[in-house]
Amino acid sequence: MALVPYEETAVMGLQKFHKPLATFSFANHTIRIRQDWRQLGVAAVVWDAAVVLSAYLEMGAVELRGRRAVELGAGTGLVGIVAALLGAHVTITDRKVALEFLKSNVQANLPPHIQPKAVVKELTWGQNLGSYSPGEFDLILGADIIYLEETFTDLLQTLEHLCSNRSVILLACRIRYERDNDFLAMLERQFTVTKVHYDPDKDVHIYKAQKRNQREDF
């Protein structure tokens, strides 16, 4: 997740980002996420898309137990934490500058017996992809990661590298600008894309993507 100021018109909506702690209940656990808007901006607060995607995973929409998952642009790590609590082996990624903050939230919220299932690792989209094996993951997760147009090509390259023919991508986002739809159009050139969930209260969509010409048996 890029560390840049984020456009948000609702002043009331911004207030929650300045709270030092955000508390959630997922997978029979209370999750307390530390936030730090002043130091790290958008990478250090919980966005609605992460909450909606976490709830979608908790619903059992995809099988997580024993699966290899990766969260891209993880920020606070909420989605990756929930995936680990639900049984996945998760690699939780972001840019180097955000890793220590991310790691502190992951360690604070996973019981000792689950912590070995979650690895925090650097991933800047489009760079040093050789440190990840091609098609390494069963499930690729992203919450509110498609808002910067200049990252779209690198993000697509990263998704292509991480996906095997059986991988499933789940992207949760709010469609704010035409460029968001532009990214989905770019994604559809390489992947079969379907909308699988919509939360009207938070105005968040979840899209499922898979490489073309593959079985949808995940």
CATH code for position 156:
3.40.50.150
Does residue 11 lie within any of the structural domains?
A: no
Q: Which of 34-43, 169-178, 209-218: highest mean pLDDT? A: 169-178
Does residue 113 lie within any of the structural domains?
A: yes
Do residues 172 and 142 make contact, with C-beta atoms less than 8 angstroms apart? yes
Give 195-215 pLDDT, tens digit per residue. Answer: 999 999 999 999 999 998 755
Does residue 4 lie within any of the structural domains?
A: no
Please name the amino acid found at residue 50: A
Does residue 36 lie within any of the structural domains?
A: no
The pLDDT value recorded for residue 37 is 62
Does residue 29 lie within any of the structural domains?
A: no
Q: Tell me, yes or no, if the pTM score tops 0.95.
A: no
What DSSP designation does 8 have? -
Does residue 161 lie within any of the structural domains?
A: yes
The parent domain of residue 136 ranges over 42-211
Q: Could you give the number of structural domains in the chain?
A: 1
Does residue 10 lie within any of the structural domains?
A: no
Please give the radius of gyration of the chain, using alpha carbons only, rounded to the nearest integer: 16
